[in-house]
Structure 1
Amino acid sequence: MRASYENLNLILRGLIAIIVGLSLFVFQEWVIIFFTQVIVAFLYINGGAKFVQVVMWQRSNRRLTEIMMQLFVASAHLMVASWLLLEQDFTTVFLVKSIGYYQILMALINLFSFSLMVKDDAGNRVDVLIRALIHLGFGLSSLILPTAINSTLNRVGWYFILLGLASIMDGRELSDKATYRSGRRRRWRITAPIWFTLLLPDSTIQKFNQYFTNKELDAQQFVQQNREVYVNYDPLALEVFIHVGKEGFNRVGHVDISYQDKVYSYGNHDIESRQLFDLIGDGVLFVVDKQKYIEYCMQEGSTVMVYGIHLSNLQKIALEAELAAIKKDTMVWHLTTDAQRHDYIGRMQLATQAQLYKFKRGKFKTYFVMGTNCVLLADQVIGTSGMDILALNGILTPGSYLAYFERESMKKGSFISAKFVINEGIYQEKHIANQ
């Protein structure tokens, strides 16, 4: 039932995106003005409703701080709506300039990744440079060309059309009549801008945690179904773990892979090498027993999303070859300072006896949160199965991986054979039941 609903939802969203894209070709900035008016109407209605709520709250003796906050939010809605109504022409210019600055930012990120790859003598770096130059060209055209508005809106129109077609293709693959092709090739995907999925793992895990404390029927049904899947789960050879930290860039999420009961995790784990607000540092790979790692995650209060992936024998051979190729570029790393021992990597190694490695060469030698990150290494390994998560912007985040896995898990015959969430409570239940 859920797959059928999601199937129709994806196809409908795809059709809407295509209509928006075609409208941008034909009507140009009038489309932006129309959507601005829709937003204005929404803000006026919502702001007015909040003012009514303030009046009702005054009669129910609500706290003054709550009333003042609601009054502030209502006033902000009306002020923004009024400003947009008076400056409708500015919204088109603002949108075009924002797209230009976004693509300039993507160009700078890719150029920085390219410079790191040159420093580390990594292969395939020309692709990164080409992406950077394309972003730079489009970004500058949106900022300085006399035809910036028309050219940018045409480009956005193409983006919506391609995004819509991708959504329709995904919707068709969710159909009951669709069949999964285990030997498919990887394909490039048109993905949403990274800001839309950046904090998706954090918000998803928060939602899951709310389910576990919610007494409503739907929440309890989800918890029970999740518990049954986890308790009856027969571990597969390959699993993907997605979880988040509590602060800083850790809230963006982290991706680990587990193969044959060994977890492989890559990250910026050397506190002594971190630079640029922890954006870059020496890339560290650790390999650890899966059970010990999950136990440690539970002790740390983490909630982990697990996806079990079915592999054919040929895919297992290809994956093992990729893991061997990656480990060939590594050397054993030992913690040498108190700062390292007291940081996450030191605490985790003490609890799990994990093996630590640094890279001697290659693109993973230097970790970069927006480039050579945990998702890129996981994708390079499990990409041997034909997963088509490759993003045109060249930047993979845990959020984009989570969105892909959620969509893929609903396809008939998907290679994702199981998915569930583990938190401390559910883990303890299974642990006690197995004793």
Structure 2
Amino acid sequence: MMKNNDGIQFYEKKSIKKFSFILQILFGLFVIVIGISIIMRENFWWWVVKLLIQALLVGTVFTFLFRSITNRNRLDLLISFGSLGFFIYSLFNENIFMEFFSLFFGVWALFNAAVRGLELFVSFQRKQKGKIVITLEFLAGFVMGTSLLVSGAESAFFVNLQVGIYLILHGILQIVDLFRVNLGSGYTLRMPAPIFATALLPSFLVKKIEREVALNPDLVLDTVEPTIGDYVSIYIYIKDYGYNRMGHIDIGYNGAIYSYGCHDPLNRHSTQAYGDGVLIVGSECEFVQYSVDDSSTVYRFLCKLTPQQRDRIEERIDLLMKPAYYYDYPLDHEKTKDSYLKHLKDSQVGVDYYKFISGPFKTYNVFTTNCVLVAEYIVQSTGMQLFHVNGIITPGTYYSYLHSNVGRVGSIVEKEYIYKKIGAKPKY
């Protein structure tokens, strides 16, 4: 009887898994169809968007009006009247939503063009290859962005084209991801949200964790343990000020840390947008603990590896280090005496510094050749790979990807830890 029940439960689980697989395939196809229809039937979708936003505005009017009466809150009343005014204005201006989306996607396209412009400038200054492709990408982004901003409501097709292509790619990757996971390869693809959302994500995470820690101090850890055995750790560091708002990402493997950045103040631009790439290698525990003690919030994603994945990671690390050379940072040449490298040395953190003779990591670029690219270079050998649009990658995109994969069937992301020392103050 027990064996019969076990067989029934197994059959039910298998049926549920099969149904879920088919449902997700259909959802991926649905997203692709929506993307195509947005490109082909632009007027219909603008009418749908307008109707949905107007319905949302009406709901906001009544919701906040009710809240203002029950809570006697003036701010809720102002939001209610503001939403009502915007709703009335939208009735007399049919193009208002189209103009808003044109502005949004125009700024997005120009931002991407600016990233390509920076990459082109660096490639000319440092005599790198690939200038023709970067130039074409820059011109495409600049022309599309300018057209969206100048034409406004007349450029609906360009807005539809960008949204449609994004949804089509998202649907395709959803389906590819499902097949690869169900075939047992563990290979996962993810397309991140638009750069505006993910670039700001670390800042929101800091505020969220501060609120949660205030209610439950046991939620976070304050002592770092090394990564040993068949595991690799992906660390994401977050602070709520300055350049740290974008976050930072490192790899911990076999007790060692691999941290890449634009750390050399003697060989970088004053904005820290580009410069010599510096790889920090050394004690995982000491390095991460230094950041925790320095008031950083550190997210750690622990990934389980097969023996084959371990071998591939070690091969990839060897390839990473092949064009690298030991960099004896000249502390005496530093003017401010307040650099990150100096503080690591003063704190006696057990790490060494390396630069690159050649290869993609020789020159750091804040938007493209950054800490995330090095992390992905190592981790993608396990089968994980984040598909990043336009080559722009931020720690926020990787956090979103990893967080969504914790404990997921077919994923190697096993656990998530949060490190934070309550009451810690920045050291510099």
Give me the TM-score of the superposition, normalised by structure 1.
0.77
Partners of 1:232 and 1:288 in 2: CA distance = 12
Aligned counterpart, 2:419 = 422
The 5 Å alignment of 1:162-173 reads 162-170=169-177
Preserved contact between residue 278 and residue 354 of structure 2 (Cα < 8 Å): yes
Of structures 1 and 2, the one with the larger relative CO (CA 8 A, separation 6+) is: 1
Partners of 1:299 and 1:278 in 2: CA distance = 24
Aligned counterpart, 1:88 = 94
Shift of residue 343, structure 1, vs aligned partner: 3.6
Letter paired with 2:51: Q
Aligned counterpart, 1:405 = 402
CA shift in 2, pair 1:307/1:143, >3 Å: same
Unaligned segments of structure 2, at least 5 residues: 1-12, 423-428
CA shift in 2, pair 1:332/1:267, >3 Å: same
The 5 Å alignment of 1:201-220 reads 201-214=202-215
Partners of 2:185 and 2:357 in 1: CA distance = 37
CA shift in 2, pair 1:134/1:381, >3 Å: farther
CA shift in 2, pair 1:243/1:232, >3 Å: closer
Preserved contact between residue 142 and residue 152 of structure 1 (Cα < 8 Å): yes
Give me the TM-score of the superposition, normalised by structure 2.
0.78
Preserved contact between residue 235 and residue 308 of structure 1 (Cα < 8 Å): no
Aligned counterpart, 2:389 = 392
Shift of residue 13, structure 1, vs aligned partner: 6.4
Partners of 2:229 and 2:92 in 1: CA distance = 59
Preserved contact between residue 375 and residue 397 of structure 1 (Cα < 8 Å): yes
Preserved contact between residue 8 and residue 171 of structure 1 (Cα < 8 Å): no
Unaligned segments of structure 1, at least 5 residues: 59-66, 426-435
Q: Indicate the SS of the match to 2:252.
A: strand
Preserved contact between residue 107 and residue 132 of structure 1 (Cα < 8 Å): yes
Aligned positions, number: 400
CA shift in 2, pair 1:118/1:8, >3 Å: farther
CA shift in 2, pair 1:6/1:21, >3 Å: same
Aligned counterpart, 1:200 = 201
Preserved contact between residue 236 and residue 399 of structure 2 (Cα < 8 Å): yes
1:256 aligns with 2:289: no
1:75 aligns with 2:75: no
Preserved contact between residue 228 and residue 253 of structure 2 (Cα < 8 Å): no
The 5 Å alignment of 1:306-321 reads 306-309=300-303, 310=305, 312=308, 313-321=310-318
232-241 vs 307-316, which moves further: 232-241
RMSD: 3.8
Partners of 2:145 and 2:381 in 1: CA distance = 34
Aligned counterpart, 1:348 = 344
Preserved contact between residue 305 and residue 421 of structure 1 (Cα < 8 Å): yes
Shift of residue 338, structure 1, vs aligned partner: 6.1
Partners of 1:9 and 1:125 in 2: CA distance = 44
Aligned counterpart, 2:58 = 44
Partners of 1:409 and 1:180 in 2: CA distance = 17
The 5 Å alignment of 1:226-245 reads 236=230, 238-245=232-239
Partners of 1:85 and 1:9 in 2: CA distance = 38
Cα deviation 1:382-433 (Å, max 9, x = unaligned)? 33334321423111111111122233444424233443222337xxxxxxxx
Cα deviation 1:225-284 (Å, max 9, x = unaligned)? x87xx9998554532111112202311110011232121212232445554644334433
Partners of 1:367 and 1:263 in 2: CA distance = 19
Percent of matched pairs sharing the same residue: 23
